[in-house]
Structure 1
């Protein structure tokens, strides 16, 4: 059984199209658990009318991604049949997937286990553009890179060269997690990582516990990139960049980056300083490139 856990908040149309894709899957042994964290746009009513088999758990708007996902996992844990293979698939509603998506994830798990299986992410409006294919990093000076760079951000090139990649972390946007992992390392940390980086932190813990982190190339998530939080790697203003250091919706939130440095890096505060310096340098370099004449 795969329990698909999706936190949602006021994105009814994204939620509708995501659910439509999931109900078209060739693999059928799954349940969908939507955690509706205080939506006011009729999301819960739409799900009840159009997808009545979907479980809807209602929050008050203060769960954010991490605790909303934990709610869904706890619900799934209560109904586990120990005789089956049981998984949680974490997914965001601003995505769509092909009908064979779940089957490709399971096939990859059975080939590489014990492991977590992550998805390749591409731009929904330009599926050739590779958005994510894993990451490599070291825990001393915050160095590393996105594996998509090794394939010129081209999904076609990636698919032609390999069927999977091994990563140092995995995002919550399409990751298949064996239920046993939660028993071994716990749930996502909603105290230190309210919204961003809880997925990365969780996968780092899983890797430390001996689970491989595999990005399966045939398992593609089509991502609506403009709907995803604060994008520090895109064209944002200096004001937005600075505000990102304190925003819950930002992956550059200083408290979150500090917690990760203390929890997992080899050099603690030094790593944190390197990490923030890297983020600031990257932003400045992108601004300089934009100022250069064509």
Structure 2
């Protein structure tokens, strides 16, 4: 039998028809496989969304510190026996960090930003990805030690009202710093192994946890919310988060029997002295603008509300328009959000409306949809309920169902979209009204998917 010889016509570019056919087939197979894999992945993600694993999500933001980060990961893998996942959020590193992470094995997930979006936004990206029942925020220059997570978890769950826990360390501001006898990193593990012995007598309450290493319950994140992305690059966003947590009456503790090593401010120092000073000063001004110098006032409010369990939405104002990241519009009144019908949305929607995260919106019960009739009623409303007034001493209140609620700051008033009154109001009308919960500033988020 003669063999059948087939000649293949060359195309205009000189390639054979057979080669093109094979290439097309391979491309088609790849596209089909990609679509199948994507569909399966999307279905699996949708089915498992909202289900958490019984372990800890360790979130590490990083920027151009590859070797330090790899050391940090080595220490985690060597000294963590409790179930965990690691989520690394890279802020546009240019030193091969992302490539090195992709070659690394283990329970590791990586999110890569295209540029340096700052500590707060990196942490928030990690929080969106976290699936653990507990969450650790960890700097990339922290080297954990024997028993670190087990002992911090014990401190966190010793009391149901404990919301967050931090360890002690060698390099930090505040009461989490301790003196250490070692001078070389090689001497640190021996010291830590001897130091990290369970001792509940060393657990103590605190009003401030520094963000180099914080362990929290998932419920804490869901009630307090994301970090404020109004702070650029880094510094003061953890103090801001502390304020919000304290305002809700939540308990923070230092696990004084747990030591981790902190190299200290490596990323921030990498900015250079001039840029570091500029960033730090700007963030400090924003922090002061948001909260003022009102630590004792917040402490008094915490004591008054300590018997109740609060969340971020309890400190939102009433009678206000809010929007979601996806562009949905709501009218919020007395702790209920009312979706606005699409046909009237454009009448009231403005770019300056405060945008709430999904976490915050989930805290607020949803009422029936508002249409033209309800919108007209809002415009006609001339009652005192929801009115913003200024007292003679400059304090701004919102009148809310027979109570007067103080804005934490002038910034809090304007950031929610209210106009500061130009004249003081007569105090007699509401002077005897009881004080309600204060109104805290909204948390700024730049990412459109929070």
TM-score between both structures, scaled by the size of structure 1? 0.68
Q: In structure 2, what is the Cα distance between the partners aligned to 1:264 and 1:6?
A: 31
Match of 1:279 in 2: none
Q: In structure 2, what is the Cα distance between the partners aligned to 1:251 and 1:104?
A: 36
Is 1:45 equivalent to 2:92 in the alignment?
no
Match of 2:116 in 1: 62
Match of 2:69 in 1: 15
Correspondence for 1:167 among 198, 202, 206: 206
Alpha-carbon distance, 1:218 to partner: 2.0
Residues 21 and 99 of structure 1 are in contact (CA less than 8 Å); yes or no, is this contact kept in structure 2?
A: no
Cα offsets for 1:162-196 (capped at 9, x unmatched): 51232111111110011111221211111246521
User: Which ranges of structure 1 fall in alignment gaps of 5 or more residues?
Assistant: 81-85, 124-130, 133-145, 273-294
Residues 86 and 108 of structure 2 are in contact (CA less than 8 Å); yes or no, is this contact kept in structure 1?
A: yes
The number of equivalent residue pairs is 229
Is 1:117 equivalent to 2:165 in the alignment?
yes
TM-score between both structures, scaled by the size of structure 2? 0.46
Alpha-carbon distance, 1:208 to partner: 2.0
Do the aligned partners of residues 211 and 43 (structure 1) sit closer, same or farther apart at CA in structure 2, a change above 3 Å counting? same
User: Which ranges of structure 2 fall in alignment gaps of 5 or more residues?
Assistant: 1-54, 182-194, 299-393, 395-408, 410-450
1:147 match: secondary structure: coil
Residues 81 and 150 of structure 2 are in contact (CA less than 8 Å); yes or no, is this contact kept in structure 1?
A: yes
Q: In structure 1, what is the Cα distance between the partners aligned to 2:152 and 2:165?
A: 7
Q: In structure 2, what is the Cα distance between the partners aligned to 1:181 and 1:193?
A: 24
Larger radius of gyration: 2
Match of 2:229 in 1: 190
1:181 match: secondary structure: helix
Match of 1:136 in 2: none
Do the aligned partners of residues 98 and 267 (structure 1) sit closer, same or farther apart at CA in structure 2, a change above 3 Å counting? closer
Do the aligned partners of residues 177 and 13 (structure 1) sit closer, same or farther apart at CA in structure 2, a change above 3 Å counting? same
Is 1:199 equivalent to 2:238 in the alignment?
yes
Q: In structure 2, what is the Cα distance between the partners aligned to 1:244 and 1:10?
A: 16
CA RMSD of aligned residues (A): 3.3
Cα offsets for 1:34-85 (capped at 9, x unmatched): 0011111111121222335310001022321000000000111xx46xxxxx
Give the number of the structure with larger relative contact order, counting CA–CA contacts within 8 Å between residues 6 or more apart. Answer: 1
Q: In structure 2, what is the Cα distance between the partners aligned to 1:117 and 1:187?
A: 17
